[in-house]
Structure 1
């Protein structure tokens, strides 16, 4: 018999078909969203923002170059497609059965129909395009049914094909419903939801055929020359028969079976450890940026936007269920890490927010795949020492991210919301991350241990891993998060972000070391009890007691990381499924974490209203389930000792670095007002939209510059509580307070379920009280009542953020409570507020009343709705409204007051007489820099200039 000229596994056909088909659609989607986003989401009824996601037809057929790119890539799919049909016929052929012929004929006709709607777009011929697409979907029925029935009964392959086909046809029902909602009822947004299901049909269709990768694993195709030409071909081609290839493979497997484990367990090299830490740092930077960027869209839509669907990118390990995918990423672990960094960190180069978010979600998807593959690889090694050191590297990467945020005022310098203008180090992070990705490797192989670890509970393990991922994201991604949970205003009765953030980071590193060291159920139970007590103290108490509880909880979480990794790594045969479900549970808990404060804007929100206790308690309980199912592996402490030393040294390095950062960030000079000689107090109020500007860039530095230009001594910030997963776990007051040299009161913390209000002052804050205002139905309103030492005089300042417009009773009760707070003090008082009322109408007359004793800074200004400045027992001299630029959707409102000298009678007279600027002393005037066109988009507006009063 002649030697084979070419022989190959038929899996290559199925892989080529899957890759070409998916690439055609995904590349077209990426290019379309990058170049023509608003155009391809436009339909006959609506455009952006009512619609936000493009249909398949609009993506692949409406615009150049995505249409051409798609058609080229889908043309490349034709060859593998027809070979796939032929190979399926050979593989599934059954004598005396018509199903193979039905499948083959249906497959060919169906492929031609595909060409009908691919190359003849709805723009070319709408009717023929629809006819071809409907024909394609109808022919999918006999194709899927035939292939499924021909698959061996009771096999996992048949089960996979059956469920994929069922999912495909089930998705058609909501597809039709949503099409009617769009076409007939003309519901805004219905076509975008329709597009979700349309795209899901594409992926399910390709996914059904991708199961052939598994089916063809032992199907080989050969091309042999004729006998006469045998000598010629064998002389020019070095070929082997299939039998020879199989024999070679068998021999290789036999030789490698003894090299599945690290030769030196637990002795990971320092270089590899650093690479793992950098990879983890990149992962956490990309992972935490996803929710921050998602938050931008519901923030502007004031409700569900549709872009929340990008959070499903964390479900990406589902692709590892495709036969061969796990082996591919395991053999080339650099690919997933490289793409995680390239897409996640490199997305900052894209300025359009929606496209940037989509690219970030791609980075997150590959990051989750990388994490899954690497943990599963450690599980196959049956080497607890290696798993522990890998878990330590993962958590040290988290600590590295927190240290970077500590150095950059709680903003991660390589987030895609940062750039060179906002102090970002994106290029540096991208270069280091890509370099580390190229050096990514899985542990060396060695001699396998004889003992087989017990299989843990699949359910309890995935739930525990989900909990640890959520808990780390919610509490430990920033050094100030736990501190803001315990903050209770002035006088200071507990820790502050600087310098005590360094303590939080040192405790994290200590927990990482203990987690690597501990190796018994008894020790684990003791640490767990320690952690539960800490969680209770953190939730219940404020000040130092709450902070100590938070540090106990921190140690427990860091200790639990290697435990969770060990458990889930033992599910290596079910790793992909475990991680998909685990990330799904993490997603659900994260939604609960969002719902506790966003309840007024989401379906079913009231069920989780202000229930941080449920979220925190659930995360603890899920971890307990994993602990009780945990079997501690036998650890060779002698072999682990070198890794422990390296982990301890790196943790010590991070702790020392944190201490240096804290010292550098400590204030040097005592804050002083801008015009002390004139005893001027300049106030401001600004709704800052959580520190993301109109183009989804971090806005702290631009806010700082605007407030400095305006020379504000005391200002209130609204929508300022950013210590949540969806806001990136940041503290916006830190950068502003340090750069502007001011005292800061963060206001009610994230465990108080408000959107936040903050106070910053050039004057010492003698005392401050935080209020949660009455809110029977709508969003919870917050207030700060502070007493400042202004030139030796106690002056009260109230910062207030009322509820939303729709909840009338809430706003009425809040106005009554605020009037009571303002009326309770006889000291001079200033209100910096967000009232949501029309001047001189409704609740305005409760805020400005005899009960409160407050006056409006300018009653003639009838253009206001949200922001107001009120005062009493002070002499106002100026009022200005400053354009927001592109930082937020709300302007700055400012008032100027004169503080009387000690012992002088307070001026209680209230005059509405305005005077010319020339009658005001120059040092009492508003800065000239903001006149006319102003600077950096900020200028006096509405009145075109400040107003001054007698």
Structure 2
């Protein structure tokens, strides 16, 4: 017979708060028992890490404590298993307490609570030793779910002032602890600071304490429950309005309440996701155009004529013709579908035809988006949605490139063989266009109610030009500005992973600011802050420069809302076509500052990135001027329209929140492990190589990083210099091949002089720790700047200097003479064993060669008998060389790979003339030989050539 609740006929009854206390006590017991047992039995082992042990490190991390050692691991697992019962009960009671009719948030928070509980079991019972990947997946999922669970609990808290206060304190402490936690982890992992891991461990334990304590606060709320289950206050029935509901009603007068205080609608959420994906496709197609254009002057070594395709963006001028404008607006779905030709371009094998296909796609895409904004300008709410979709699409593009190490899997330079997801991207794009173009644009009669007299269309176009260029050149990849401020080792600033997530977070914060406070976003004060950020990024390096980058990021994303809104309410033929036209010249301008030797009038803008940045901000200032000059009546009308359509914002913010969580997860997964091992550690062999990679575009216009990775791995290269490696410009897709190679091959990486240093780039990848590195720009009074890296490596405990250098062009002999003297003195000043991996532009035994190989530098040629060289050379001193080989490039680039082997710990060869010291391969130990797979015809077009075999030396 059922209990008689009203009569109190209950067999067992206890307060719901004991569920919270049981959960708290058992959870703490799990961690603390493991800590006590671990310290008692295995203290020195659990405080030891990969770099230091006791006494430098004297307190164990959570992972070391609850990891694989018996019996502490068993203590932890047993108590965590017991914790699961109270945990599921706690999440359920919280849902019963907060559930209200016609609200979705409590259900979402309940799901997050269950999900966190399950993933906690995942990383607890699948250790990193059992399966490292699944352990990380469960751990990341748990951490990602913590944010919505915490914020959801704060949002749903009943009117219990004490509980709300404790939740705010503990949530702030939890998220605030993440900052020093990450800082000290980087100090340990990157800088290898003694004791940093102990400090990190304290913050890690603090996170555990705060996490469990946050859920312990539910004891103050669960006093309203008596189990089995009796609601003594009626708070959970949903019949009476809770105090928190009354507060929410007041909040509905505020913007946040108008955004989140509505019933969730899946169709509208799908609409928002489809719009954002369309924005992602726009940015994917636009950012791919420059890469395809760049292919042609790259192979022509000068102006090719194909550069005219950058003008594909000016198509909005067609909207100045009334019949065409009407036709486009009535057929936006068709126009968007035609723009998807850019996603099909990967099926076009001929480089020229592929470029024309993408050029057509960019033409249609720019026309479609300009017409979309123009057609929706009469309804500010719908216009805001389209701007939100477009800007969130840029963030999605940056997140995807963050996940793919700066490549985009739906670019036309990608296909299945190099990691492309072109087919999937196309199918999703088709579905997105079908979904997002269901709603017809406003009628033609409504287009007249758009305040066309609000400022100048031309000035609005200037603002659009500066804005689009800033977004494209600086924010289409999360690592671009990080590489602007990179100055080498030791690390003194941000690194691409994990700090790319900071850039993405700043983008999200800026967009949110622009949506919720457009008055600030369009203000002159905020514009001044953006100018300060631009100046800091341009003038400073390391963290100071990056702080400026984050300020500029927030400004650009926030300003995109008022500037595009302003342009949409004016003549589209003037605002958007003028904007894209000037944007195109900025794109060329920011390439000419490096490529001045190949373009008419190039020397006038030589090395003037500061001019580019100044021009960009001045143009944005023009847009701000015309936006601020809008009539007060028109602004008031738009504000009233926004207040009636706030609900749609929530779905874009949900997508934005999802993207932020993805970026944090990617940053965690991509955090450098720094546990790299050379290929022949036991033999103490260092294999060094030099390769000019031609900007990671192969002969057939495919991205070449996968093929490069394969041959570098198969040649077992420990240290390699890469030349023509700076891809962080619009015309090169804002890429960074070294990120993919370093992470996939397990190597340290030094990018070399950054994109704002006006070179074609050089990079160093090393299996050995880079102790210190310095970037040099060598004398170049006439021609292009010559970049160099001077790095000190810890090679099997011995310090070895490695120089990576790209000399000037053949047309500039004075530059090359000055560069030769500079670099030779630089190498000669090194007291350590040294290797030069270089592009020298000289014949063996002639001219500048005799300065590089001289008493000034102290360097020797790895094989002076190799007469068939012109560009690439490997020189050395203070090391015993054992082998040298040249490997054909296949179709990856236009330059071969040269590789040399050195035996560490042995004295330098006594005979400097290696022609008299050559020996047969069978006299060389197996571990010192080059791979056999490249003999004869080799593999995939790579083979030993010139000598048809490696050379070995005594």
Q: Is the 8 A contact 2:522 2:559 kept in 1?
A: no
Q: 1:568–1:399: structure 2 CA closer, same or farther, 3 Å change rule?
A: same
CA distance in 2, matches of 1:521, 1:863: 64
1:889 CA drift (Å): 0.4
Secondary structure of the 1:868 match is: strand
Note if 1:910 corresponds to 2:884.
no
What residue ranges of structure 2 are gaps of 5+ in the alignment? 1-261
**Structure 2 residue aligned with 1:180:** none
Q: Is the 8 A contact 1:506 1:651 kept in 2?
A: no
Note if 1:700 corresponds to 2:705.
yes
**Candidates 389, 393, 416, aligned match of 2:412:** 416
Q: Is the 8 A contact 1:900 1:906 kept in 2?
A: no
**Candidates 813, 834, 841, aligned match of 1:808:** 813
The 5 A counterparts of 1:95-106 are none
1:451 CA drift (Å): 8.7
TM-score by length of 1: 0.70
CA distance in 2, matches of 1:355, 1:422: 20
Note if 1:653 corresponds to 2:649.
no
Note if 1:736 corresponds to 2:741.
yes
**Structure 2 residue aligned with 1:463:** 462
Deviation digits for residues 56-91 of structure 1 (CA, Å, limit 9, x no counterpart):
xxxxxxxxxxxxxxxxxxxxxxxxxxxxxxxxxxxx
The 5 A counterparts of 1:207-226 are none
Q: 1:454–1:323: structure 2 CA closer, same or farther, 3 Å change rule?
A: closer
Secondary structure of the 1:772 match is: strand
Secondary structure of the 1:760 match is: strand
CA distance in 2, matches of 1:762, 1:909: 29
The 5 A counterparts of 1:768-917 are 768-900=773-905, 910-912=912-914, 913-917=917-921
**Structure 1 residue aligned with 2:330:** 331
**Structure 1 residue aligned with 2:488:** 489
1:696 CA drift (Å): 0.2
Q: Is the 8 A contact 1:874 1:908 kept in 2?
A: no
1:629 CA drift (Å): 2.3
1:638 CA drift (Å): 3.7
1:868 CA drift (Å): 0.3
Secondary structure of the 1:377 match is: helix
**Structure 2 residue aligned with 1:642:** 647
Secondary structure of the 1:314 match is: helix
Any runs of at least 4 consecutive aligned residues in structure 1 with deviations exceeding 6 A, and if so which? 446-451
Q: 1:568–1:784: structure 2 CA closer, same or farther, 3 Å change rule?
A: same
My pick for the range that moved more, 437-446 or 561-570, is 437-446
**Structure 2 residue aligned with 1:435:** 431
CA distance in 1, matches of 2:450, 2:366: 30
Deviation digits for residues 356-408 of structure 1 (CA, Å, limit 9, x no counterpart):
111111101100110111111122x1x33332232111110011111111111
Q: 1:630–1:322: structure 2 CA closer, same or farther, 3 Å change rule?
A: closer
Q: 1:280–1:828: structure 2 CA closer, same or farther, 3 Å change rule?
A: same
Secondary structure of the 1:597 match is: coil
**Structure 2 residue aligned with 1:222:** none
CA distance in 2, matches of 1:440, 1:386: 12
1:317 CA drift (Å): 2.2
1:562 CA drift (Å): 1.0
* Count of aligned positions: 677
**Structure 2 residue aligned with 1:575:** 572
CA distance in 2, matches of 1:658, 1:527: 27
Note if 1:384 corresponds to 2:380.
yes
CA distance in 2, matches of 1:575, 1:879: 62
What residue ranges of structure 1 are gaps of 5+ in the alignment? 1-263
**Candidates 923, 928, 939, aligned match of 2:927:** 923
CA distance in 2, matches of 1:862, 1:914: 16
1:560 CA drift (Å): 1.2
The 5 A counterparts of 1:493-512 are 493-512=492-511
CA distance in 1, matches of 2:826, 2:837: 13
**Structure 2 residue aligned with 1:226:** none
Q: Is the 8 A contact 2:695 2:724 kept in 1?
A: yes
CA distance in 2, matches of 1:417, 1:678: 40
The 5 A counterparts of 1:9-48 are none
Secondary structure of the 1:799 match is: strand
**Structure 1 residue aligned with 2:479:** 480
**Structure 2 residue aligned with 1:557:** 556
Secondary structure of the 1:409 match is: coil
**Candidates 585, 591, 610, aligned match of 1:588:** 585
Deviation digits for residues 732-759 of structure 1 (CA, Å, limit 9, x no counterpart):
1000001100000010000000000000
Q: Is the 8 A contact 2:375 2:442 kept in 1?
A: no
1:640 CA drift (Å): 4.6
Note if 1:622 corresponds to 2:622.
no
My pick for the range that moved more, 628-637 or 347-356, is 628-637
1:932 CA drift (Å): 1.1
1:436 CA drift (Å): 1.5
1:454 CA drift (Å): 4.2
Q: Is the 8 A contact 2:485 2:546 kept in 1?
A: yes
CA distance in 2, matches of 1:327, 1:831: 64
1:529 CA drift (Å): 2.1
Q: Is the 8 A contact 2:705 2:740 kept in 1?
A: yes
**Structure 1 residue aligned with 2:947:** 943
CA distance in 2, matches of 1:417, 1:575: 32
1:276 CA drift (Å): 1.8
Note if 1:356 corresponds to 2:354.
yes
CA distance in 1, matches of 2:614, 2:530: 12
1:578 CA drift (Å): 2.9
My pick for the range that moved more, 445-454 or 602-611, is 445-454
**Structure 2 residue aligned with 1:60:** none
Deviation digits for residues 101-141 of structure 1 (CA, Å, limit 9, x no counterpart):
xxxxxxxxxxxxxxxxxxxxxxxxxxxxxxxxxxxxxxxxx
1:925 CA drift (Å): 0.4
Q: 1:725–1:881: structure 2 CA closer, same or farther, 3 Å change rule?
A: same
CA distance in 2, matches of 1:338, 1:509: 28
**Structure 1 residue aligned with 2:235:** none
Q: 1:384–1:524: structure 2 CA closer, same or farther, 3 Å change rule?
A: farther
Q: 1:596–1:451: structure 2 CA closer, same or farther, 3 Å change rule?
A: closer
CA distance in 2, matches of 1:452, 1:626: 16
The 5 A counterparts of 1:339-350 are 339-341=338-340, 343-350=341-348
Q: CA RMSD in A?
A: 1.9
1:435 CA drift (Å): 1.8
**Structure 2 residue aligned with 1:317:** 316
Secondary structure of the 2:868 match is: coil
The 5 A counterparts of 1:140-159 are none
CA distance in 2, matches of 1:538, 1:669: 28
CA distance in 2, matches of 1:887, 1:941: 16
1:938 CA drift (Å): 0.7
